[in-house]
Amino acid sequence: MISVGFKTDKGNVRSGNEDALFVMPGQQIYIVADGVGGHNSGELASRMAVGYMAQYVALNPVSEVQSKRELRKYFLDCFAGANELVHSKSMEEDDNAGMATTAVLCYLEGNGCYIVNVGDSRAYLVREGVMRQLTEDHTLVQDMMRSGLLTKEEAATHPDRNMITRAIGGESTINPDFYRFEVCPGDVIILCTDGLYGEVSADSILRIATETKTMHKLAKTLVDEANAAGGKDNISVVCIRIGG
């Protein structure tokens, strides 16, 4: 039995919400996205991307995919289609120029978990009192850290820490990361935008996830915590617990 909770909030500062999320329990698909762009373009980009992905899954049931290799192609094609849609829209109208969105998708199949991501929306795994980040941010500071030009502490306060290097719609082609790992009973998977982890420390996220009984309460508590810490950005969270 898998239990799920989710919540999105515009935060305390932004006038609108450029995040989007989509939950498809019947297909065991969960998506979080964070749009970027002027005017209302970020909101449009994130909603177009998750809408396309949801339609793709509805029209091409993931349960019919036969192998792990085909499953990887399935999700890469899904992201490529969303990218083509958002990128085309960004090229059509001046108001939408440069719009794009991050996205992180989780698919559960038996004891397997598949994560696909572009940008800096993250997936975390909480297991037996330990939390680890499953995804790697596609950001300028992450590239600089990998090259040894920045420490983790310097990256946390770098003025360009929010500059993403990969996004859906940002370019004509896209290169998502694809991960697979085994899940165990009691595992909690958290998908979130940077509005959460930009305000709430990893230690606090772990503590809240460990102490909270239900996934609906966990999602709400995490969003409330981000708002209490400032809520400078939109916040979106999907929390998934693997049952025994």
pLDDT for res 80: 98
Helical axes 68-92 vs 41-59, angle rounded to 10°: 140
What is the predicted pLDDT for the residue at 67? Answer: 86
166 pLDDT above the threshold of 70:
yes
- Give per-residue pLDDT as tens, 145-165: 677 766 676 667 666 667 789
CATH 2.30.40.10 assigned to 2-242? no
Can you tell me the mean pLDDT for 80-103? 93
Whether the model clears a pTM of 0.85, i.e. scores above it, the answer is yes
Question: Between 36 and 145, whose confidence is greater?
Answer: 36
Average pLDDT of every residue of the chain: 92
The yes-or-no verdict on residue 62 having pLDDT over 90 is: yes
The residue with greater pLDDT, 154 or 91, is: 91
Q: What is the pLDDT of residue 1?
A: 87
SS3 74: helix
Average pLDDT over residues 44-56: 97
Q: Which helix (H) or strand (E) holds 132?
A: strand 130-133
pLDDT, position 39: 62
Percentage of the residues of the chain whose pLDDT score is greater than 90: 79
Average pLDDT value for residue range 28-55: 92
User: Could you state, in order of their start, the residue ranges of all structural domains in the chain?
Assistant: 2-242
Structure confidence at residue 140 (pLDDT): 66
pLDDT above 90: residue 127 = yes
Confirm if 196 and 238 have CB atoms less than 8 A apart: no
Q: In terms of residues, how long is the chain? A: 244
